[in-house]
Amino acid sequence: MRERLGRWRFARGLKACTAADDEVLTQYAGAAWPSPDIPAREAPLLALDFELDGLARNAHVLQAGWIGFDSSGIALAGARSVDVRSLRQLDDSAVAVHGIGEERARQGVALQEAARSFLGDLAGRILVAHGASIERDVIRRISKAMFGIEAPVCSICTLQLERRISPNLVGSDAYRLSAARKRHNLPGYAQHDALSDALAAAELFLAQLSRLPADVRLGSLESW
């Protein structure tokens, strides 16, 4: 039931994008989206991560990093990372985490330019992220502000999947991206850089996928 409802909402969102007076959204809606019934190993994927100015729902996007991949590997040549312009006073506690200060933020690209880039690359692909609800919500918020329409996003959350593969672990840090990677014998990466975190999530998902049945359906892993 949940999967059917999610698919219905996704299709309704694409229909709204089709009627939009913007090339990015119409191309997004017209992309060849994978069926939920295909094996997950056949799905086209895009790992995406945002660095934000804090945890508020209206937090500014300060950096976006993304990379396309599938079960055969990660296309490093297509990796993208952009700093996003912000002219406001930033949250000191957030700056201490991601290291993007106000001077650097003022030199970034416009949010509209960054959004057009990652929406173009996301068209026809399933978003992969660790804690993917954040990326989904940010994309919806940005597209609503830019186009008046929330672009629908179909995603796979490596955090949720790790809870499924390794349930009932104790400790608040047990399911963090770095801890999950360690359990799958993946190397440690510097955290809180958008592209580095996107690549880390892509590698983690491929490791997780190798532990799932070969015929696991894409629809059984998706969320909306």
105-134 confidence digits (pLDDT tens): 688 899 999 999 999 999 999 999 999 999
Average predicted confidence (pLDDT) for the chain: 92
Q: Which pLDDT score is estimated for 108?
A: 87
Please report the DSSP string for 22-88 in residue order: -HHHHHHHTS-PPPTTSBGGG--EEEEEEEESSSSTTPPEEEEEEEEEETTEE-GGG-EEEEB---S
For residue 10, name the pLDDT band (cuts at 50, 70, 90).
very high
Q: Which amino acid is at 25?
A: L
Contact 201, 177 (CB under 8 A): yes
33-55 confidence digits (pLDDT tens): 999 999 999 999 999 999 998 77
User: Domains, the chain, ranges and CATH?
Assistant: 2-220 (3.30.420.10)
Contact 44, 128 (CB under 8 A): no
End-to-end CA distance of the chain: 13
49-98 confidence digits (pLDDT tens): 999 987 777 888 999 999 999 999 999 999 999 999 877 666 766 665 66
- CB half-sphere exposure, 157, CA atoms < 13 A: 15
Q: Which pLDDT score is estimated for 54?
A: 77
Please tell me whether residue 156 adopts helix, strand or coil conformation.
Answer: strand
